[in-house]
Every structure is written in C-alpha cells, then in structure tokens.
Amino acid sequence: MLRHVTTYLEAIREAIREEMEADPDVFIMGEDIGAYGGAFRITEGLLAEFGPHRVIDTPISEAAIVGAAIGAAHMGLKPVCEMQFIDFIAPAFNVIVNFAAKVRYRTGAGAGLVIRGPCGAGVRAGPFHSQNVESYFANVPGLKMVAPATVRDAKGLLKAAIRDPDPVLFFEHKYLYRRLKDELPAGEEILTPLGKARTHREGADLTIVTYGAMVHTAHEAAERVAHEDGAEVEIIDLRSLQPLDAAAVLDSVRKTGRLLIVHEAPRFGGFGGELAAVACEGAFEWLDAPIRRVTARDTPVPYAAPLEDAHLPQVADIVSMAREQLNY
C-alpha cells in the first residue's frame, strides 16, 4: 500500500478536507482561516477548494463564532470552529458550557460542532498563547474532549469528532504541528473512536497515564528508565479525556501496581486529580506505591525560555518520580 509522510498539522488539514469532501454540510469558520490559511496555515488551500460559503472568515469574536456554529448545527450543518489559540476559547466559555453542553439534555437535540485550536507550551509563546484548558471544561457534562498525541490520531480523532452528534473540544498541541511526522496509508480512511485510550508503550513495572505532547516526553523518560534501571514502563495515551477510558487506566494499574500521572497543565485542580481518584476507587488494592503526579507548576506559563522549561514537566522530572515509585 502506498504511504505518504504527513506532519501532525497536515493530518489535521487532511481530516478537515476529507470530511468536507464527503459531506457538504461540513464547513469551517474562524479568524483568518480563508485567504490567510489560518494562523498556523492549517486551513491553507481550503478556501480555493471549497469556496467562501464553506470556509468562512469571521470577526474577532470567539463568542460569536461558537454561537453561530451552535445555530448552524441546529439547522443540520456540521461546523468546525477554529480558535487561533485555544487560550481564546475563554470569551466563548458561557455559550459552550451553558448552551452547547446542555442543549441535548434540555431539548433532545444535540449541537454537533467541533471547536479546535492549538494548545500547550514549549514554543516560547508566553502566558496568553500557551495554556492547556482541559480542566476548565472537564466538570461540564455534555462536552467531549480529545487531545491527540500522534499524527494518525490527529487525523482519526478529528474525523470522528466532526461526525459526532454532540459538541467536541479538540485540543491540538502546537509543539507537535511540524515536529511530529508519520507515514499514513494513502487512500485509507483513518477513523479513531472517541473514548478509547491507546497503549503507547508496553510495560509491567509502572504505569504512566498521560495525553497530548506529554506522551512523547513520557516515552523518552520510559526509555531512559529501561536503559538505566532495567524497568519497563507502560504508557497509556488517553486520547479522549471525555469520555474517559477508565477501564484502560485500571487494567494497566492492576497489571503494574504503580501509577504516575503526567500532564502539562498546572497541578492544582488539574485533570490528573480525577485520574488519581479513578485509580483509587477502582484499583486501590492493587497499588504497591502511592500515586504520584508530574505536572506544570501552578503559575502562568512564562515567556523566558529558562523559566518556561522550569515551569513544564521535563524528562528528568518524570524519570526521578518513576524511580521513586519503582523503589518504594
């Protein structure tokens, strides 16, 4: 089978293009996504291919973008909204959590839309363009959230999100856009179901649960632990945060007896707290060491490179905590 080398960014563009080709009800909207091709050039070329009625440049108002998308979804269309940076989802918070997330419960008709945008730090973009916002929305029933860590999942999860009948928040890590590459089969549809985690690395001594760009940081740490300590670390890539594949987490913890949670967002109130609760409720008697977390610091993301590096979880941080658990 023919294969083509694809970046994480290109996989997202491919998913959008394929869904627009397959379904005339799919359209995209956002700031500068048309002639300019998007802040990161993800939508480059789509205006020429599909025209201004399906590639819609909007005013600089995230609340208006999402509000219009909800209305379009109720008319049977399938909007995909771009936030130039996921940080800017904040102005749309009210309409997302108080309408989009609750409309199926209130009316029986869901709002099938996708809100996607670049999240995460590591690119020296400072406190207003580097956030991870998953914990803001994790407590809101009715929303689905995905955070792909691989090229294949960037494509497959976005296609699944576009087809989903309810609102999906799609967190794509900007650090991975052009750094991550993979060979994808040409002509084969890639569709990754929401709510299913993936075993990124097999192991029997310790479980690391993570998602997004931290999967790769954790992988590097696991390889170092294997080489220097002779211990095999299993890495569970959640892929979907809501719905959460709790069974995959619990199965791995029951196998290894140890759990280390890694995420890039700040520690306090972060998604890792929920993962720890899931493990305690479902696999406490299998634990041979306390659950630990490696996260970002509880500060805004610094701009200066040394400060940003100190703020973010690093390979050495994960290795140190993994050794503490393995030697407990």
Identify whether 311 is a catalytic site residue: no
Q: Is the pLDDT score of 301 beyond 80?
A: yes
Residue tagged 């973010």 (tokens): 312
Q: Which residue out of 4, 53, 74, 129 is catalytically annotated?
A: 129
Q: Is 327 exposed, middle or buried (0-12, 13-18, 19+ CB in 10 A)?
A: exposed
**Residues 246-259, mean pLDDT to the nearest whole number:** 98
| Run of H or E residues at 216 | helix 214-229
Is CATH 2.70.70.10 correct for 3-185? no
Residue ranges, CATH 3.40.50.970, the chain: 3-185
Is CATH 3.40.50.920 correct for 198-326? yes
Amino acid at 126: G
How many degrees, rounded to 5, is the angle at CA 217 between CA 216 and CA 220?
Answer: 85
Residue 271 has which token pair?
A: 């998604």
How far apart (Å, rounded) are the C-alpha atoms in residues 68 and 290? 47
The DSSP code for 124 is S
**Residues 13-33, mean pLDDT to the nearest whole number:** 98
**Residues 97-111, mean pLDDT to the nearest whole number:** 95
Q: Is the pLDDT score of 114 beyond 80?
A: yes
Residue tagged 């995959």 (tokens): 248
Residue ranges, CATH 3.40.50.920, the chain: 198-326
Amino acid at 209: V
pLDDT of 262 reads 98
pLDDT of 197 reads 98
pLDDT in tens, 197-235: 999 999 999 999 999 999 999 999 999 999 999 999 999
pLDDT of 1 reads 65
